[in-house]
Structure 1
Amino acid sequence: MSEKDKRYSVVIAGGGSTYTPGFVLSLIANQDRFPLRKLKFYDNDAERQKKIGDACAIIMKERAPQIEFSYTTDPKEAFTDVDFVMGSIRVGKYHMRELDEKIPLRYGVNGQETTGPGGMAYGMRSIPAIIEIIDWMEKYSPNAWMINYTNTIAIVAEACRRLRPNAKVINICDMPVEIMTRMAKICGLNDYHDLDVNYYGLNHFGWWKEVRDKKTGKDLMPLLKKHISENGYWIGGEFDKETETSWAETFKKAKDCYALDPETLPNTYMQYYYFPQYEVKNADPNHTRTDEIREYRQKIVFGECARIVKAGTAKGNIWEANAEHSNYIVDICHAIAYNTHEKFFANIPNNGAIANIDSDSIVEVPCWFGADGVQPMATGMAGRFQKGLIEEQQACEKLVVDAYEQHSYTKMWQAFALNKTVPDASVAKKILDDMIPENKPYWPELN
C-alpha cells in the first residue's frame, strides 16, 4: 500500500473527555484528508468513558462503519497498533480543577486552571501521567506520534524535554487558533487558514507581531488593532450567540491588554498576568469556571450521550457543527501523515526561535509540521516588555519541573512566589500548604 492510500489508527487518551464526541465528528468529517482504519479510546475512568464511548459507538456505526472502533482501560490494548496518540487527559478531573481555582482565591490570588498557582498545581499532576502514556506508546507502538494537548502544556512540555527528550511528542494548544478565527472574522475572511502570522511567547502567554492575509499578503494589523482597541476580540451578534459569559468577558478584556502594548496583539490569557487584582475582584470564590462547566458543558455532553444511547441513533446530535479545537488537531495529523510542512503552533525548546530568549526555554511559536515532526520558525527578537514577562514565567515553569524531579518543597514554593499573579512569598506558602494535602494522590512527596 502506498503512503497515499494508507489508513491510520488513532487512540484518544482521555476518552471520557467532554470534548471527545466533537473530536470524533471532526475525524469522520475529514476522512478524505486523514482516513482511519481504527479509532480507540483509552481512559482510566471506565464509568465516565463508557458514557462517551457508547454514544460514540453509535455515531461511528452510523457515520463511518468502515472504521474499527473500541474503547478500553487496558494500556496494552489501547496503545498497540496505533499511528497517532491524542493526549487529552485531566488528572484529578473536575474535583482537582475546582481546588486549583478556589484555593488561590482564599488568599486573594487569581484562581485559574492553567495560570498562577492553579496552573502550576495542574502541571505537576499531569507530568507523571503524560510520561506514563509516552512510555506505553513507545513500548507498544514505537513509530507512533503523540499529539499532546493536556494542560498545563508549558510545564508538560518542559518535563518531556528533560525526561523524554527523544520521544515523538508534539505539545500543542488551540487557543491561538481560536483567537485567529476571531481575527479572520473581524477581517472578513473565513477562518484561521486564511491568515499568515508571526506569533511568539509561551503557552497561554504570547503576542502576535504580524497578521497578514495569506492569499494577498495584505497587512491586517491596522484593521485588527482598531477593532481590538475598541472591542477586544469580542465580535457579538450571531458569531457569539453561544459564547458563555465568562468567555465573553475574556474576549472583551483583550481591549485593556492591548492598551498596555499597542505594537502587538495579545493572547487573551495575558489578562491574568496584566490585571491579577481585577481578576480576583471579579471572581466568585464559591462559583468558578469549574462550576460553570459542570452546570453547562458537562451536563449537556453527558445528557446528549445518554439520549443517543437510549434512542439508538445519533441523528440530530448537538455536535453536527465541528469545533475549531478538534479540526485543528486533524489538520496537524494530516500535516504529519502526509509531510505537508504546513504552519501551525507548537510548544518546543526555543533553540533560537525567539532570538533573545534562552535556547532551552519551552516557547510557543509557529512551526512547520511534517513527517519528521516540527521545525520552528524564527520569530525575531522579543520586545523588552515581553522578554521580561517571558523570563519570569518561564522560570516558574522550570521550577515546577525542578520540584517534581527533586521532590523539593522549596522549588515549588519558589515557583509560586515568583509568579506574577502572587503578591508575595508568604501568600505563596499558604496556597502551597493548602494544595499539598489535596494533591497527595498525584504529586511526589515534597520535602
Structure 2
Amino acid sequence: MSEKLKVVTIGGGSSYTPELLEGFIKRYHELPVSELWLVDVEEGQEKLDIIHSLCQRMVEKAGVPLKVFKTLDRREALQGADFVTTQLRVGQLKAREKDERIPLSHGYLGQETNGAGGLFKGLRTIPVIFDIIKDVEEICPNAWIVNFTNPAGMVTEAVYRHTSFKRFIGVCNVPVGMKMFIHDVLKLEDNDDLSLDLFGLNHMVFIKDVLVNGQSRFAELIDGVASGTLTARTVKNIFGLPFSEGLIRSLNLLPCSYLLYYFKHKEMLAIEMGEFYKGGARAQVVQQLEKQLFELYKDPHLNVKPAELEQRGGAYYSDAACEVINAIYNDKQTEHYINIPHRGSVQNIPQDWTVEMTCLLGRNGATPHPRITQFDEKVLGLIHSIKCFEVAASRAALSGEFNDALLALNLNPLMRSDNDAEVLVRELLLAHEAHLPQFAKAIAAIKSSQQ
C-alpha cells in the first residue's frame, strides 16, 4: 500500500457518512487514512455540502491529519484511491418509497431488499455499480471496492458472475448486529474472543455455532433465545417479532431478523399492510429521520456523530466497513462476515455461488473460514430459491428484458401469483423509468400497449 492512504466514498452525501468517518478517526493509529473523498450526484449536492462541513468539524475536533474532499466528479476522486466504498441509493428515498408502496398496494410485502422491491432496487443499482467498476479498473485498478449498497448479495453475485473484477467485497451490518446481540445476551467482557460460524446469503444468514474463547456456547444461546430467558441489556433485540420457540429448537440455528419475511410471512405482511392503510411505509419514516438528521448536521457547533443516527437501519455499519478496510490494509487475517464467492470451499452448494459467511480477511482478500465446509441441509431449500432469484435478477439488470425481470420475480418465494408478478413488473418498470435506461424498449412496449 502507498504511504498515502486514500479512501473514496461514493454516495458521500449519505446520512451514514459521519458514522464511517467516526470509524476512521477511531482507528487512525492503525489505519492512517490521509484523504477521504466524498462523491455524490447533482441531486445530492446540498446533502454532500452539509456532510462535508460536518466531517471537517469532526476531523478538526479529533485532531487527526485527515483531509476530507467533496466532488461530483467520480473519476477525479478515484485518482490514486486505495479503497472505494459504495453506499449509494439510485433514485434516493423516493425510489425506496415506490419499492415499498407499489407491492403493498397489491397485497405483497414491500421491502427494499426482499421481494419485488428488492428486485427493482437491484435492477437500478447493478448497472451503476458496474460503471463504477469500469472506472476503478481504468483509474485505480489496485483499489478494493467495499460495497454497502443494497441488495448487497444480489450486487455481489452480479459482479462476480458478470465481470472479471476480483477486488470486490459485499458488506452488511446485520451480522454485526447479531454479534453485538450475542455479546450482550451472553454477558461477555470486551476482551472475550467471540467467533461466529455464520452462513447463508445476504439478509438470509444463520448462525450454527458460537465460540467464546474457543469454547462453544451455542447450546446455551439457543436455549435462552428459544425460551425467551436471554434478553439484551443495551442492544435492541434484533428479532423485532420473536421467532417461535418450536422453530428455533427444531432448526437448532439462530436466524437473522430478515428471515421473519419467510418464517413469519403472514404476520409481517399484516403489520406492513396495517401501516400501508394508515398511509405509512418504512421509507417515509426514514425520510423523516433523514430530515431531522440533516437539520442536526447543519449545526455549525456539531462536531461529533449525533446519537440519533443509530435510529437508522444501518447503524454500526462503520464497524463492518472500517474493519474490512483495516484487515486488508494491515493483513490482519481476522474474522469477518462478508459476501464473496466461496469457490468450492462449501461442499454442498454450487461452486459459482456468492454467499455471505464467516471469512478470514487479509491483504489478498477473503478466505472462507475453514470451519464452514457445509451449509446446514435443513435450510438449503430456502437458500437455493433465493439464490436462483438473485442469479435471475442480476441477469435481468444487465439484459433489460421484460421477461428476464418477470422470471426473477416469479422465482421469488414471496410471490404467490404469476399474474400478480406481471402486474408488479409493469407498474414498477413504469414507476422507475428514469433510473432504468436498460429497460427503455420494454417500457416503451408497455406504454404502447396501454394506449
Match of 1:380 in 2: 373
CA displacement 1:68-94 (0-9 Å, x = unmatched): 221110112211121111111111110
What percentage of residue pairs aligned between the two structures are identical?
26
Compute the displacement of 1:398 (Å): 0.7
SS at match of 1:282: helix
> In 2, distance between residues paired with 1:78 and 1:233?
47
Q: 1:227 aligns with which of 224, 229, 254?
A: 224
Compute the displacement of 1:249 (Å): 7.9
Q: 1:353 to 1:233 in 2, by over 3 A?
A: farther
State yes or no: 1:21 paired with 2:18. yes
Is the 2:47–2:294 contact (alpha carbons within 8 Å) kept by the matching residues of 1? no
Instruction: Please report the TM-score for the alignment, with normalisation by the length of structure 2.
Output: 0.89
Match of 2:321 in 1: 329
Aligned ranges 1:23-422 → 2 under 5 Å: 23-44=20-41, 45-64=44-63, 66-190=65-189, 194-213=193-212, 215=213, 217-231=214-228, 235=232, 239-240=234-235, 243=236, 250-255=239-244, 258-259=247-248, 261-283=250-272, 284-285=275-276, 286-296=279-289, 298-307=290-299, 309=300, 311=301, 314=303, 317-318=306-307, 324-378=316-370, 379-422=372-415
SS at match of 1:39: strand
> In 2, distance between residues paired with 1:89 and 1:192?
35
Compute the displacement of 1:351 (Å): 2.0
Instruction: Please report the TM-score for the alignment, with normalisation by the length of structure 1.
Output: 0.90
> In 2, distance between residues paired with 1:192 and 1:299?
38
> In 2, distance between residues paired with 1:256 and 1:425?
34
Match of 2:422 in 1: 429
CA displacement 1:188-243 (0-9 Å, x = unmatched): 11469831121111100121111110x2x2211122112211349852x5x15xx5
CA displacement 1:288-316 (0-9 Å, x = unmatched): 111111223x1332011111x3x4x5269
Q: 1:257 to 1:395 in 2, by over 3 A?
A: farther
Unaligned runs of 5+ in 1: none
Is the 1:17–1:88 contact (alpha carbons within 8 Å) kept by the matching residues of 2? yes
SS at match of 1:85: strand
Compute the displacement of 1:370 (Å): 1.0
Is the 2:227–2:245 contact (alpha carbons within 8 Å) kept by the matching residues of 1? no
Q: What code does the residue aligned with 2:21 have?
A: V
Is the 1:354–1:381 contact (alpha carbons within 8 Å) kept by the matching residues of 2? yes
Q: 1:28 to 1:157 in 2, by over 3 A?
A: same
Is the 2:158–2:395 contact (alpha carbons within 8 Å) kept by the matching residues of 1? no
> In 2, distance between residues paired with 1:293 and 1:320?
11
Is the 1:348–1:362 contact (alpha carbons within 8 Å) kept by the matching residues of 2? yes
> In 2, distance between residues paired with 1:259 and 1:300?
38
Q: What code does the residue aligned with 1:107 have?
A: H
Compute the displacement of 1:317 (Å): 4.7
> In 2, distance between residues paired with 1:392 and 1:133?
29
How much is the aligned-residue C-alpha RMSD, in angstroms?
A: 2.4
> In 2, distance between residues paired with 1:165 and 1:410?
26
Is the 1:22–1:319 contact (alpha carbons within 8 Å) kept by the matching residues of 2? no
